[in-house]
Every structure is written in C-alpha cells, then in structure tokens.
Structure 1
Amino acid sequence: MEELLQIAINAAVLAGQEILSIYDTDFVVKYKKDTSPLTKADSNANAIIMGFLEKTEIPIISEENKQTAYAIRKDWTRCWMVDPLDGTKEFINRNGEFTVNIALIENGTPVLGVLYIPVTKLLYYTSATGGASYKTTIDSETFTTVPEILKTSEKLFGNSVKDQVFKITTSRSHLNSRTKRYIEAKRKQHPVTVITKGSSLKFCLLAEGSADVYPRFAPTMEWDTAAGHAICQAAGVSVLDFLTKEPLQYNKENLLNSFFIASTNNVHFE
C-alpha cells in the first residue's frame, strides 16, 4: 500500500503543478452538458494522474473519464476515485480554493486518500494503511519517499481544537436555504462561526480540527468527497449519509452522493 500512496502523492502534486501553469493564463472555459465548467487545467491534470494510476492496474473512476458501465464496475473490489481539479469554479474565480483529489476505494469504502492544494502547496494524506492522516507542505518539484515526507508531516486529530464557539464549514458556491436553516438551528444551541470554503478544503478543516461540522445539503459526486472522506475518517471524523446515518459508500450504481454530515462526532444531525 505504501507504493500506491507514493504513486497517488506524486500524481496529485504533479497534476497540481500543471494546474498552476495554467492558472494565471487566459484559459478558455467550456461547459459540460450538466452546465458545470471545464478548463484545460481539468483535462491536463486528469491526463497526468491517469498516467500514474494506470500503471497500478487498478480500475479508475475519474470525473473527466467516460464512466465504465455498472455491470462491469459492480465486480470491482478496488478502484481509484479521482477528481483532477475539485473546485473548477474557484479555479476560474482565481481564489485559490481548489484541490486535486485521489482516493483508493475498497469494497465501497475509501481506505487511502491524497488531497493536494496547488496554490498553498499543502498536502493532506492518509497513511498507507489508512489508520492516520497527516498534512505537510510540498515546496519542491523533487519528490522524496513517503517515509521522508512523514518526517515533515503533522498528524491530524479531527477533535483537537475545542472551544466555546461551534464552527460550521460550508460551501462557498452552494450555500442553499436548507444549509442556512441548519446553521440557524445550531445558533439556538451554541455560539456559531461559519467558515466558507471551496472544494474539498472543508474536509481539511475538519481533519485538522479547525471546524466541527460540514453539513452538505446540495449535490456532490463520489469523486468530490472520496479523498476528503478518507482523510477525515483516518483523523477520527465521520462522514455519514444524512438519512441512513451510515458512512457514504463509493462505486455505487449511481455515483451521486446522498446529502451528508461530516463531523467530529455523530450528534450534529438536524
């Protein structure tokens, strides 16, 4: 598994470097059939990641790939789940809040995750066994091995920061009325601070203990959440289906996630 983690880290950081090479140019924005934006950075980053992951001979589900039929996918016990540029709207708006997400799924559960923030060069990742999560800064184009990266990494504890203020992190682009009602309900119970972030950065805040809960009452796809889910899970943070109260599942027939609550404990449901 350490070899797979190394491959995922290398893929994410190199994809991030490619994204940054396009970030400050006059790139063209196209739109998919579902009206979501697409740029050259999305496709170029995806090509780099595919070049790394295909060598593992583990099937890949990526936002930018044509999806394999479920009749075939249902027999996969392992697969990669990839969003080569999570937060394309944030990329277009040039606010820096976008990530590269790579996760390994086993029997519907994310067991390894890598999440890279190109602008800040922050890398969040699970251990090879998925038993712990870490963050570090990758400030060099020369990669070291996972053991070397670990030497400069900070272990994450999702419940490490506790104070009188209840911190809710929400989407910068998808703050809808249901989420606002959730926030108001919490304000009746605690002093509340709301932290808005784009892309998977919300999972990072939970994993490092900088936020208490991330309620998501808007559509997400499996590739949007898998890497962040893995990192949170390994840091002691739950990511639960809002209706079933069970962990989100991956490589489903429909790759659309249910609404969910990610939190440092399991009591933050409406």
Structure 2
Amino acid sequence: MKFLFGIKNQEVYYMKIENLVEEVKVIAKNAGAAIMKIYTDADLSQVVDYKADDSPLTLADEAADKVIKKGLEELPVQYPILSEEGKKMSYEERKDWDTFWLVDPLDGTKEFIKKNGQFTVNIALIKDHFTIMGVIYVPATDTFYYGSELGAFKEERGKKTELKVNNKNSDRIAVRSASHASPEEDELLAKYDVKNSISKGSSLKFCMAAEGKADIYYRHGPTMEWDTGAGQAILEAAGGKVFTGNEEKERFHYNKDNLLNGSFLCLGFD
C-alpha cells in the first residue's frame, strides 16, 4: 500500500505514504514548539490542572492538541481524529471508522511536569483496527522516530538512521516505565532471560525497543489507545511485535468499544 486516499470537500485525494509521513512530522514539530513555550515556564505548577481521573492536564496538552488538529484537518487526505483531549467521543460515533488519526498531543505529562525531557508528541494512523503509520516527536531533544511500511527511522541533529530491532536470543534488556511498575512485570521478564533494564517515560519505551537499546517492554497496568498507537507502528516497522496481554498470540489492535488498553507485550525478537 504505497498510497493512501481520503475525501476533502467531496473530492477524492491520493497521497504517497512517504509524503504523508513528512507532513505529519511537520505537524508534530509545530505541536512540540507549542509545548516547549510552556515547558520553559519557571513554575509549571501554574499551568497544571487535573482531569476527572486525577491525571495531570497541562496547558501544553491543550495547546499541542489545537496545533495537531488544525494541521491534520489541512492535509489533502482527510480522516477522523481521535485525540486524548477528545476522548469523551462515544463508540457509536466512531465504530464504523475504517481509517482515523489517533493522537496523544503530550504523552508523558508527569515527565513534563518533572522537567526531565521524557515526553513526546504521538500521531498514529489506524486502518481496519491496526496501526499503519506512526510519528513520535521528542520536543526536548528535537528528535523524531517514525515508522510505516517503508521502514522505521530516527532523525536527530540532522542525521537519519534506519531502526532495526536486536533479535537477541539471550541476555536481553527490558525497558520499563519511569512512573509505573508491577510485580506481574517482574514475573514475566524473568521468563525472557532479561539480564538488565533501563527506565524511560512516555512512548519512548517503544522507541528504545525499535532502535535496539532494549529487547522487551511489558506493560501490565492500564493505558489508553493514544498512548500506544504511534509507538506500535514504529516498533513493528523496525521488525518488532506488539501483542495483547502477556502472551505471543494476538496482535494489539485499536478502536475498541472501550479505549482503555489492557496489558500488552512488546518484543524485539522472534
């Protein structure tokens, strides 16, 4: 599938995937610039509010969301947008979507508040319940990770590198959450000959596996669909796999009636 098509102003438009990736990278970078304007504020406590579930919401989330929605709505190919900031949309409204954008304007809000730089802008394209393209932008370091059927890549300081998973058979490295941990995670990692681990926030855990810095990432606790879509696209494009639950059976999928994810397992090896 080298082309994607959509409808804008009742006309059908076609676009090459590589061109669409480049357009989405621009949108993600613009969203990152909006985030960084707020990130440099000396007192982030003044820009933090809390959602109904007590997770933090910053002005940066909202600013980035506006930039991304505007950018996606101006693209030649048009698809519905499901964003974290619009998560109250009912299943009835989206159940018949075959292709749509899945957006987390600021993934790793807790990392943003801690000012450790480990937060990202996530934009994924979902088709028939599976992710087919993903862009992750790291505003604090001006770094891109992106993936599609054309491969997975990292761009940093003007240098573009193709990403491939390690496919290690032993002495594996796990990437673990900087903010979440569970006994179930320890138990599962023991089965995969994990000898060491690194810690990362946000969707950067997927990126660590995609570029071979880690071999396995297991998340037992809940996440939302927009937390995982872009990362899954990049990891799979790099040769990795993402499964539902803690076994290597069902590929992780999207646009469920409940947007809350269960546990998932990411592997950088067969």
Residue 238 of structure 1 is matched in structure 2 by: 241
**Could you say if the C-alpha distance between residues 138 and 9 of structure 1 is closer, same or farther in structure 2, counting changes exceeding 3 Å?**
farther
- Report the Cα offset of residue 243 of structure 1: 5.6
1:203 lines up with 2:210 in the alignment:
no
Q: 1:165 aligns with which of 161, 168, 171?
A: 171
Unaligned runs of 5+ in 2: 1-16
The number of residues matched between the two structures is 248
Unaligned runs of 5+ in 1: 140-151
- Report the Cα offset of residue 66 of structure 1: 4.5
Q: Deviations over 1:151-176 (max 9, x none)?
A: x411111126x485320111111112
Q: 1:32 aligns with which of 51, 58, 67?
A: 51
1:134 lines up with 2:150 in the alignment:
no
State the SS of the aligned residue for 2:74. helix
Residue 13 of structure 1 is matched in structure 2 by: 29
Aligned AA for 1:171?
S
Residue 140 of structure 2 is matched in structure 1 by: 119
Alignment check: 8 A CA contact 1:168 1:211 kept: yes
- Report the Cα offset of residue 5 of structure 1: 1.6
**Could you say if the C-alpha distance between residues 191 and 212 of structure 1 is closer, same or farther in structure 2, counting changes exceeding 3 Å?**
closer
Residue 105 of structure 2 is matched in structure 1 by: 84
Distance between the aligned counterparts of 2:89 and 2:38, measured in 1?
A: 29
Distance between the aligned counterparts of 1:203 and 1:66, measured in 2?
A: 23
- Report the Cα offset of residue 248 of structure 1: 0.9
Q: 1:250 aligns with which of 234, 251, 254?
A: 254
Matches within 5 A, 1:156-235: 156-159=163-166, 162=168, 165-183=171-189, 185-186=190-191, 190=193, 192-235=195-238
> What CA RMSD, in Å, does the superposition of the two structures yield over aligned residues?
1.8
Distance between the aligned counterparts of 1:29 and 1:223, measured in 2?
A: 21
**Could you say if the C-alpha distance between residues 206 and 64 of structure 1 is closer, same or farther in structure 2, counting changes exceeding 3 Å?**
same
Larger strand share, 1 or 2? 2
Aligned AA for 1:37?
P
Runs of 4+ aligned residues of structure 1 deviating over 6 Å after TM superposition are none
State the SS of the aligned residue for 2:261. coil
- Report the Cα offset of residue 6 of structure 1: 2.4
Alignment check: 8 A CA contact 1:248 1:257 kept: no
Residue 263 of structure 2 is matched in structure 1 by: 259
Aligned AA for 1:94?
K
1:73 lines up with 2:73 in the alignment:
no
State the SS of the aligned residue for 2:85. coil
Percentage of pairs with the same residue: 46
1:64 lines up with 2:85 in the alignment:
yes
Distance between the aligned counterparts of 1:263 and 1:108, measured in 2?
A: 20
Larger mean Cα displacement after TM superposition, 229-238 or 58-67: 58-67
Residue 48 of structure 1 is matched in structure 2 by: 67
Matches within 5 A, 1:143-154: 152-154=159-161
- Report the Cα offset of residue 2 of structure 1: 3.2
Aligned AA for 1:4?
L
**Could you say if the C-alpha distance between residues 167 and 48 of structure 1 is closer, same or farther in structure 2, counting changes exceeding 3 Å?**
same
Alignment check: 8 A CA contact 1:123 1:138 kept: no
